[in-house]
Amino acid sequence: MSYIYLDNAATTRVSERAAQTMLRFAREEFYNPSAGYAPALSVRRAITNAAGTIAGLLGAEAEEIVFTSCATESNCHAFACGIKNKKGNIVVGSGEHASVYECAMRLKSKGVEVRFAATDADGHVTPENVAAVTDENTAFVSVMHCSNETGTVNDIAGIAAAVRAVSPRATVHSDGVQAFCKVDTDVKKLGVDLYSVSAHKVGGPKGTGALYIRKGFNMPPFIVGGGQQGNRRSGTENVCGIASFAEAAAEYKKAAGAFDARSVAKIFTDRFSGRSDVRINGGGHTSGYVLSLSFLGLRGEIIAHGMEDNGILIGLGSACSTHVRSNRVLGAMGVPKEFAEGSVRISFCPSTTREEAEYAAATLEKVTNDLRERMRR
């Protein structure tokens, strides 16, 4: 069965060019990049070139990019090593991805003071809300750039400035997974020390991510061993993943420039706005790529199954966590439980067509109306 796929915040289809690149480095240029012979040196150059591509998309330099196994590893690396030997509290946004939230909870269990910056009703973590829980003893701050639940985009540059005005020594990290190649992610403008990105959200393979580490920032390695990647992340590099990540990201960025995500999302919001039994979660500045809708008195998983029966795949929230944890994010926004339990996430990519969106929006309305009709019987 052929599906309309609208769960791109969970993962994306690997692009044809990225897949070809993976195959080339798996079957032809398969050499260990640490070996000394000429074919291996060519593979090593491919890693350097890939770092340059990712860096270019981030407004960074190639030497500031460290490749990882995924964005979860990048986030864990940031928390484990970005704090280093600093004493003091840490601040995180209250709507973070599970990989950031659980890192914070682990530190809390070890006696570190963790403070949560509140989200507003639209899902934004504002510079003012971060400043409200930051003091001169704050050692580390992590706020996501774009919400994986609602698509809201946070003012990371404003947050970094607000933090450094109070605690100049604080490390500033941002999870940029849902922002990368979709909104402006120039890390120099953002003013961050650390920034996490993922391949499989932009047409690359699963199992590959990257961490931007600002030049001059003293970052101990998270994984030690053979000293690969300038001794910043040991382990034989996943050349298939790294090279195809760069290929996919460059391709995705170009396609995104011609894609009006907000106009596609508007097809859904126009259909459901003004209804007392539906909440559109998130507002203000959004990427347009992620849309969260909550249906009063319904169950998100039942809605999703109904959509699947009609050939449309949508999500419930972060595919990296349970729906209960997804509700943690909506709860932080003040979404009532009776709405939050009926939440679904719809997410787009540059290949999503208006025709697909229009059909999906109409089907979603029919599915939810039919469910309500059954409940009344």
Query: Which residues are part of the catalytic machinery?
Result: 320
Of how many residues is the chain composed? 377
Torsional sign, CA 81, 86, 90, 92: negative
Q: For tokens 């996430």, what's the residue? A: 345
Indicate the Cα dihedral angle 99, 195, 193, 186, nearest 10°: -150
User: Cα(222)–Cα(233) distance, rounded to whole angstroms?
Assistant: 6
User: Cα(234)–Cα(221) distance, rounded to whole angstroms?
Assistant: 8
Closest CA to 127 of 103, 96, 93, 98: 93
Q: Which residues contact 154 (CB under 8 A, 6 or more apart)?
A: 93, 124, 125, 126, 143, 144, 145, 146, 147
Structure tokens at 264: 């596609």
